[in-house]
Amino acid sequence: MSNVKMCVGARSDTPYYMKHFDTQLYSIEELCYIITQNAFLLEEEDFDDNLIEWIRDRLHLNPLSDMLINLKNGNAGLFEIVMTILGYVGYNTEKEMREVRSLLEQSSHMDQFDKKLNKARMYLDQGKLSSAEEEYRYLEDSLPDGALNELAVVYHNQGVILARKFYFMEAAERFRKEYDIAHTKSALMSYMYAVRICMTEKQYIDYMADNKDAYLLSMELEKKMSDAGLIYDAGEDKHQLATLSVYKAEGNLTAYKDGMNEIIRNMKEEYRGMCS
């Protein structure tokens, strides 16, 4: 029984929505878990007055809420606030506490754009494509003129998002913008993958004939795609199913169910037509 941990405070019937991480919290331990899993991405705005009120009124942790209010009134930084919460609750191991401390110190030296890039990447890795797309759109519009390496990363990951949604032509445009900045083989290959999948055989051959750089890599691309079984018709049915998978992953169950019902109706009509 040595691994059993006592919970601190009450479990709230009313969840607290932590917008930054798109998460509903019901207990102070869940907040500690979010902190340890996302320490590199935490911002002072995550620990606002609404969270402190929820800790006091819903979790009945008045001593902790008083400590946080005093820290805020004294203009304490993110490090002091986070470590105060973790220290009070006692949910985390000493190793986890050290890791959080180290990540917070590293994060303090990052500018807002680096934090935004990490946040967008987190959403992308979690499959939250709409949230990632929103963050990358903000970065595309806001990055300073000289931040070309960061802009190339934005274009690449925008292309990844669009490709996962089966918008291959739009993805190709983003990969092309990445290549125009980075001039790397990997950027050009990403662009060619997207172009190859969304074009017919004739369109692709005509395109290769007019693009010398792409033509030199086309044989390598063909072999890789053939080995991976990626040369196929990216038709409307596959596009629709890919879009529905995104809806399901992001929790948009209404759109997911409506789309599945439409597919089933179309299949029934097609079957009736075959049998008539």
Q: What does the pLDDT look like over 167-223, one tens digit per residue?
A: 888 999 999 999 999 999 888 888 888 887 777 767 767 766 666 666 556 655 555
d(C-alpha 49, C-alpha 47), whole Å? 7
CA dihedral 36, 56, 68, 102 (to 10 degrees): 0
pLDDT at 100 over 80: yes
Residue 5, pLDDT score: 66
Rounded mean pLDDT of 256-262?
74
Q: What does the pLDDT look like over 41-96, one tens digit per residue?
A: 898 899 999 999 999 999 999 999 999 999 999 999 999 999 999 999 999 999 99
| β-bridge partners, 17 | 24
pLDDT at 271 over 60: no
Pure H helices in 24-147: 28-37, 49-57, 62-73, 78-89, 94-107, 112-125, 129-142
Mean pLDDT, rounded, of the chain: 82
Is pTM, for the whole model, over 0.75? no
Position 20 confidence tier, pLDDT thresholds 50, 70, 90: confident
Residue 1, pLDDT score: 41
pLDDT at 275 over 50: no
Percentage of residues in the chain having pLDDT higher than 70 = 75
pLDDT at 224 over 90: no
Give SS3 for 162.
Answer: helix
pLDDT at 35 over 80: yes
Residue 214, pLDDT score: 62
CA distances, 167 to each of 158, 198, 259 (Å): 11, 8, 17
Residue 78, pLDDT score: 93
Residue 211, pLDDT score: 67
Residue 253, pLDDT score: 72
**107 vs 6, higher pLDDT:** 107
> Contact, 10 vs 62, CB < 8 A?
no
pLDDT at 13 over 70: yes
Position 259 confidence tier, pLDDT thresholds 50, 70, 90: confident
**228 vs 52, higher pLDDT:** 52
Residue listed under structure tokens 């691994």: 3
